[in-house]
Amino acid sequence: MVKVLFVCHGNICRSPMAKYVFKKIICDMKLDHLFSCDSRGVSDVCQGDSMDLRSAKILKKYGYPFDNHCAKKILLEDLLTYDYILIMDELNQKHLYQMFNRNIQHGKVFKLLFFVPNYQRSDIADPYYTLDFETCYEDIYKGINEFLRFLNSKNDEHK
């Protein structure tokens, strides 16, 4: 089973949105038995909070089921448990490396948009500040699909 953790700043906008988009995509592909996923933040500023209502609104708009989300900060245990840590932006990456530098294995932490070839952005902007939840969703959707394509090609190499 491949364990995937989505990480943003406070774990109320981008990373929970990514978690629920990922869950539905793998379920629709009938691959849900091969994956587990969750989300965290690099900060505890929103610890215990629900998902931002604007993220929930986007998920509803595009037909993604979701449940009661409770924001959590990433812990060392998460870093050791998950196979892939997919972060949303450069600042998240910086904070993650400040917290866990010696414990981060090579090839485990990626920006989600790293997997989208020739994309005009490398960061998924924080919609809490930009108020652009639509673009955030589009970036997450592209990143997840390309991440799954990456895993598929990696799996093909090992056959």
In the residue annotation, 37 being an active-site residue is answered as: no
Which of these is catalytic: 8, 13, 37, 46? 8
Query: How many domains, the chain?
Result: 1
Q: Please pick, among 14, 46, 54, 136, the residue that the annotation labels catalytic.
A: 14
Q: Mark out the alpha helices in the chain (DSSP H runs).
A: 14-28, 53-61, 76-81, 90-100, 127-130, 133-157
- Which CATH number fits the domain that encloses residue 48? 3.40.50.2300
Structural domain span for residue 29: 2-157
Active site (annotated) includes residue 126: yes
List the beta bridge partners of residue 36: 3
Q: What is the pLDDT of residues 111-154, one digit of tens each?
A: 999 999 988 889 999 999 999 999 999 999 999 999 999 998 87
The tens digit of pLDDT for each residue in 96-115 reads: 999 998 888 888 999 999 99
Which of 38, 52, 89, 126 does the annotation list as catalytic? 126
